[in-house]
A and B are shown apart, each in its own frame.
Chain A
Amino acid sequence: MANSLKFFSIFLFVLCSLVFTGQTIKVYKDFADFEPQLHKSSDTTYVINFWATWCKPCVEEMPEFLEINKKFEKQKFKMILVSLDFDTQIETKVKPFIRENHIQAEVVLLDDPRQNQWIDRVNKDWSGAIPITVIYNKDFYFFHEGTLTFDELNELITKNIKK
């Protein structure tokens, strides 16, 4: 009896923590596991933004990206926000940021310290500073280091999204 009570309370605890933490964030410890997201040959137009909660320009452009996600999410479109925050800060920084900004787009975390190896594999023109954004589908590719506005994103996506 005491045992089943114990199990029940553990069950309740797990359930509660799931409800309160909400979204789980996929953590990539090896860039190679994330890399296929940058090279899909499909009709879907991908917007992949590398950012971090500590990066001021990233945080400043985020609302414009979220507006874009709202506008295109019902079409052949997918936005992936790749956080470069440290994995130790998922609960303290990343999840609160997602909640406060009502982020609906997919957020993943890339925590592979071998940056000199993988930065060039994202794009060889990338210096390592964030934010960067990659927009692509099977017929189109765009890379930009620095911030982008709603209008810039909107124009690029509208021109290239597949019907």
Chain B
Amino acid sequence: MNKKCISLLAGILFSTMAFAQGYKVGDKATGFNLKNVDGKMVSMADYPDAKGIVVIFTCNHCPYSKLYEDRIIAINNKYAPKGYPVIAINPNDSINEPVDSWSNMIVRAKEKGFTFPYLLDAGQRITKVYGASRTPHVFLLEKVKKNYIVRYIGAIDDNSKDPSAVKEKYLAIAIDSLLAGKKPDPNYTKAIGCTIKWAE
């Protein structure tokens, strides 16, 4: 009887694990402690006064990530003072994609003058838990008491190629909504991006 019970439980546990595909809007997001391009570790505890965090999975090599670098800098410069700083995380395995190695991250952050941390998810654990599937991929978190709640998942805006042709700034609209005490709408968008380069 006990054995049956255990195998049933194990079965349920396994199937939930198999179906876990990262966070959905409304989920509580885990914290992290990852190495920045300046060699220091960064965690959410470094932002005691933040109202939330704009987590963006992005990388060096991906053309879509490159297209958004300037726009990510602009978002951080506009919203960090309002309580929503950007934290960029490189999700890729550097053996699979050498352009995304830590040393190349340092070079790129310097070249572009990133005004936000650019962290390496060595081991790719945070990428898996969040369910990032492409770069760039945004997870907008709102701080509610001591928790970070996922409020928006998706794209930065609706035109990767041409910033001047953007009609809807999804991420900016979502942050503005949170600042106004409202839930973002839309809270989930899709865009073409590069696959996550997983360790083989």
Contacts and interface: CB of A to CB of B under 8 A. Distances in A.
A, B in one complex:
yes
Interface of A: 54-57, 84, 86, 111, 113-116, 119-120, 126-131, 146
Interface stretch (B25-33, B37-45, B151-159): B151-159
Q: Can you list the 9 inter-chain pairs with the closest CB atoms, starting with the nearest?
A: A129-B134, A127-B133, A119-B190, A129-B195, A116-B189, A113-B159, A128-B190, A115-B191, A54-B63
Q: Is the interface of A mostly helix, strand, loop or mixed?
A: loop
Given A113-B160, A128-B133, A129-B133, A119 B191 contact: yes
Contacts of B165: 113
B160 A130 contact: no
A130 B195 CA distance: 6
Contacts of B195: 55, 57, 129-131, 146
Interface in B184-200: 189-197
B111 interface: no
A120 B191 CA distance: 10
Interface of B: 62-63, 97, 133-134, 154-155, 158-162, 165, 170, 189-197
By CB atoms of chain B within 10 A, which of A54, A127, A146 has the most?
Answer: A127
Contacts of A57: 195
Contacts of B97: 56
Nearest to B195: A129
13 contacts: A113-B158, A113-B160, A115-B158, A119-B190, A119-B192, A120-B190, A127-B190, A128-B133, A128-B190, A129-B133, A129-B192, A131-B195, A146-B195
